[in-house]
Amino acid sequence: MTSHPPATSSSGPPQHYLGGIALRLLAMASLSLMFVIVKYIDAAGIHILESLFWRQALVIPFILVWVATHGGLATLKTRRIGSHARRAMMGLTGMACNFGGMILLPMAEATTINLSVPIFAVIFAALLLGEPTGWQRWSAVIVGFVGVLVVLNPGAGFAAGFSGTHGTGTLIALGGAIMTALITIAVRDLGRTEAAATIVFWFSLLSMIPLGIALPFVYTPHSAHEWLLLLGLGLSGAVVQMSLTGALRLAPVAVVIPMDYSALLWSIACGWFFFGTLPAEATWVGAPLIIASGLFIAWREHRRHIDRPKEVAA
């Protein structure tokens, strides 16, 4: 799944909570559609590095149009190119893991593992940023980890759960969730000085450097159908990025983040409709624990932002 820039301040654009929620829901639906296309692209024999290249290359024009109509291209100027470069490398790694997890696992299972991002984000925020984390959030983390373990170990023994292609996909998807959580830390730091659209633009542009170098080694001629798949990947990726950015312009993070769990419903529906797969029994058991944990963490974050002005006023 994706990283979350901080909410805009009160001096930013007017807040419209329902609009922000609607855009976040659109982003989750588009994300599931994008992952359907990822699986079809893999089935067509297109290398994952090439799919990542076109995913990023086709997003850039849409981001430029968005920025041009929301503040102007001058807002893309930055003095933190090094931080953007580190975020781009982390973002590419996370995206490759998320693509790989979706390719190797049923959609619902890969999505469920990715929903553990808030759990890892709490841990990394405490360890790397020294953020205060009370017993309530740590309890939510523990509950979420129980859910992750249930999903990872389908009952045939822990070691057996990591065997074969399924085991490889599980580890890759888990790596994607961990990397995405680390990205949230990097984006939170960038968000102190950079707008959300600026972060997205530099991520897309800088990631084109390594992907462009790799492209000649993995590129193969494509049929018209395959080009349509790649175009669909870029278009759906653009809708995801634009919707995520727009949602955060209209509503605070704590308001829109709970909408991310709708991705599980979309992934179940898409997995059944396009590939004839349904979640394993363990996913049905573990997913509610992960979702409950993530929603509680989001609620606690919301309460912290409400209480903070009170503390300052006191």
Cβ-based neighbour number of residue 65 at 10 Å: 12
Residue 275 pLDDT > 70 = yes
Mean pLDDT value across residues 96-105: 91
Residue 248's pLDDT is: 65
- pLDDT for 313 equals 33
In the predicted model, what is the mean pLDDT of residues 83-108?
A: 90
Residue 9 resides in a domain: no
Task: Answer yes or no: is 111 within a domain.
Answer: yes
Could you list the residue range(s) of the whole structural domain that residue 161 is in?
A: 17-313
| Residue 4 within any structural domain of the chain | no
In this structure, the number of other CB atoms found within 10 A of the CB of residue 88 comes to 22
165 or 157: which carries more pLDDT confidence? 165
Question: pLDDT confidence of 293, banded at 50, 70, 90?
Answer: confident
Mean pLDDT of 12-28: 75
pLDDT at 239 over 50: yes
Residue 239 lies in a domain: yes
Between the alpha carbon of residue 35 and those of residues 42, 103, 236, the distances in Å are: 11, 8, 9
Mean pLDDT of 140-145: 78
Establish if 206 belongs to a structural domain. yes
DSSP labels, 243-295: HHHHHHHHS-HHHHGGGGGHHHHHHHHHHHHHH-----HHHHHHHHHHHHHHH
| Whole-angstrom distance, CA of residue 123 vs CA of residue 187 | 16
Does residue 1 lie in a domain region?
A: no
Summarised one tens digit per residue, pLDDT across range 202-224 is: 988 999 999 999 999 999 899 99
What is d(CA 85, CA 105) in angstroms, rounded to the nearest whole number?
30
How many structural domains is the chain composed of?
1
Residue at 80 is within a domain: yes
Give the pLDDT confidence of 26-45 residue by residue, as tens digits: 988 998 999 999 999 999 99
Does residue 183 lie within any of the structural domains? yes
